[in-house]
Structure 1
Amino acid sequence: MHIPDGFLDLPVLAACWVLAAGAFAIASRRASDRLGGDRTALVGVAAAGIFAAQLLNWPIPGGTSAHFVGGAFAGILLGPWLGVMAMTAVVTIQALVFGDGGLLALGANLAAMAVLDVLVGYALFRLLRSYHETAAAFVAGWGAITVSAAFVGVAAGFSSAFAWDLATTVTVMTGGHAVLGLVEGAITATVYAALVDARPDLVPGREAVAEVSA
């Protein structure tokens, strides 16, 4: 899903940077009181795991690639704002160290994977968790990556620097990642269920249950 430099024109790049920077500024303020102790360590562990999972990618039609994202799981496990911060670190390090995505396009990649993916995944999970938590985690993983891919398709389609039109970019990105999203949803649900069984005290909303059980 990483966008390389040269695919987006300056107006689209600027709009994406504004979105990403604004979201990170809000996340920094709102997440500051949640950092410290075990929570800080958890952010690091989650970011490292997601970083490793994102290294698995493959090309899809239209000049881009598909890969696991993990933003929904970050939102579920860390909450929306710590999730945004963790994913921002992951995507930024990938761009600077591994060349995954362009530096000018970093704002667009952050907007898609560190902002939209996290917030959409978190919102879907919160909306559906009262019905069935594991199913909610699946839908969150699937829906978040699909929406993020659609955003990338829209950004590329609106860019005068990209060779394909809006209908093509949105169709290719959304369709490809909707299929991938089934896998990401399954992984998100599986890891969430395992975490709830092993360490419910780490899962937001489960702390009280863990204390009562203990």
Structure 2
Amino acid sequence: MHIPDGFINLPVSMIFIALSSLGVLACLKGARAQLDDKTAPLAGLVTVFIFAVQMMNFPVAAGTSGHLLGGVLAAVLVGPYAATLSITIVLILQALLFADGGLTAVGLNLFNLSLLGVWGGYLVFLFARRFLPKKKSSIPVASLIAAFIQVPLAALGFVFQYAIGAESTIPVATVATAMISTHILIGIGEALITAFTVSAVLASRSDLVFGWRQIAPDLKIGSKS
């Protein structure tokens, strides 16, 4: 999912750097309005947690592995604005420290994972939550559904970028089939990790879960109900 340098042509890469920069700046403004002294430290912890967990891969098929993307997990815990910033920091650090994703491709990766993954996944979470009982136990279920869909959704973002700017001659249909099928499998792992983590935080500090506070307006930071 981390696109390397030279895989997508430079003009398309530059366009996505511009688009992603605008999106991240908008989320920075939103996060400033949303976070306070009590929730900002949690956003930092979520960023560190996702960075660490992304270092661990899990097998999904012969010769293929995947890792947590974390967009839905972060959005449910700290809200989509802060989640976008968290995933952005993780992706930039990975590109700089481990060459996991190219520097000229940073806009492509940010668009797919920080913007499309976070916001697309969070909208699915809201949609699923709407049709579930307004109970704490519904939050992990909605998170599981959203996290599963987030992964192939981000893969579709890559397929679109490949279609308009590929440096390779591999047919788009071939790339799409391989990407979507593989990332559906990765989505299963993403969903399970996300649901388990959200459940654990809900059990210990439900007041810190953004996705739960939105339907429990009387719940304040520092209370545990």
* TM-score of the pair, normalised by structure 2: 0.86
Distance in 1, matches of 2:224 and 2:151, equals: 34
- What pairs with 1:61-210 in structure 2 (closer than 5 Å)? 66-130=66-130, 131=132, 132-204=138-210, 205-206=212-213, 208=217, 210=219
Shift of 1:97: 1.1
Gaps of 5+ in 2: 133-137
Shift of 1:4: 0.4
Which residue number in structure 2 is paired with residue 36 of structure 1?
Answer: 36
Cα separation, partners in 2 of 1:17 and 1:59, compared to 1, 3 Å: farther
Cα separation, partners in 2 of 1:209 and 1:193, compared to 1, 3 Å: farther
* Contact map agreement 1:76 1:121 (CA 8 A) in 2: no
Distance in 2, matches of 1:164 and 1:52, equals: 33
For 2:70, give the aligned amino acid.
G
- 1:138-193 residue CA offsets vs partner (Å, 9 max, x unmatched): 11111111100111122123324123221112211111011110111111111111
Alignment: residue pair count: 212
* Contact map agreement 2:27 2:85 (CA 8 A) in 1: yes
Shift of 1:210: 4.4
* Contact map agreement 2:10 2:104 (CA 8 A) in 1: no
- 1:8-49 residue CA offsets vs partner (Å, 9 max, x unmatched): 002321221122111111101111122332212111110011
Gaps of 5+ in 1: none
Which residue number in structure 2 is paired with residue 21 of structure 1?
Answer: 21
For 2:197, give the aligned amino acid.
V
* Contact map agreement 2:149 2:187 (CA 8 A) in 1: yes
* Contact map agreement 2:155 2:183 (CA 8 A) in 1: yes
Shift of 1:209: 5.5
Which residue number in structure 2 is paired with residue 10 of structure 1?
Answer: 10
* TM-score of the pair, normalised by structure 1: 0.90
RMSD value, Cα:
2.2
* Contact map agreement 1:53 1:69 (CA 8 A) in 2: no
For 1:98, give the aligned amino acid.
F
